Structure 1
Amino acid sequence: MRNFHIALFHRASSTFWHVATTPRTACKHRLSS
């Protein structure tokens, strides 16, 4: 049960970082091109 909770948290945090960083990199690509 504990491992499931840790995996769920890790998945949520990685998804959060992906969402947080993707628009920033998209803006950088748009500015460079």
Structure 2
Amino acid sequence: MAVIVVPNVLRERLGEEGAEALVALLRAVEQEAR
């Protein structure tokens, strides 16, 4: 599994919940690609 780091500027724009949702989405895409 890849380590996903959300940059601070993006985390500030999205908020904590938005950043976590983005990471969840990227993980789901990664799982589908396998």
Q: What's the TM-score bracket when you normalise by the shorter of the two chains?
A: 0.5 to 0.7
Find runs of 4+ consecutive structure 1 residues off by over 6 angstroms: none
Scaled by the length of structure 2, what TM-score is found?
0.57
Gaps of 5+ in 1: 21-33
Q: CA RMSD in A?
A: 0.3
Give TM-score scaled by structure 1 length. Answer: 0.58
Instruction: Tell me the number of residue pairs that the alignment of Structure 1 and Structure 2 aligns.
Output: 20
Long gaps (5+) in structure 2: 1-14
Q: Which has the larger radius of gyration?
A: 1
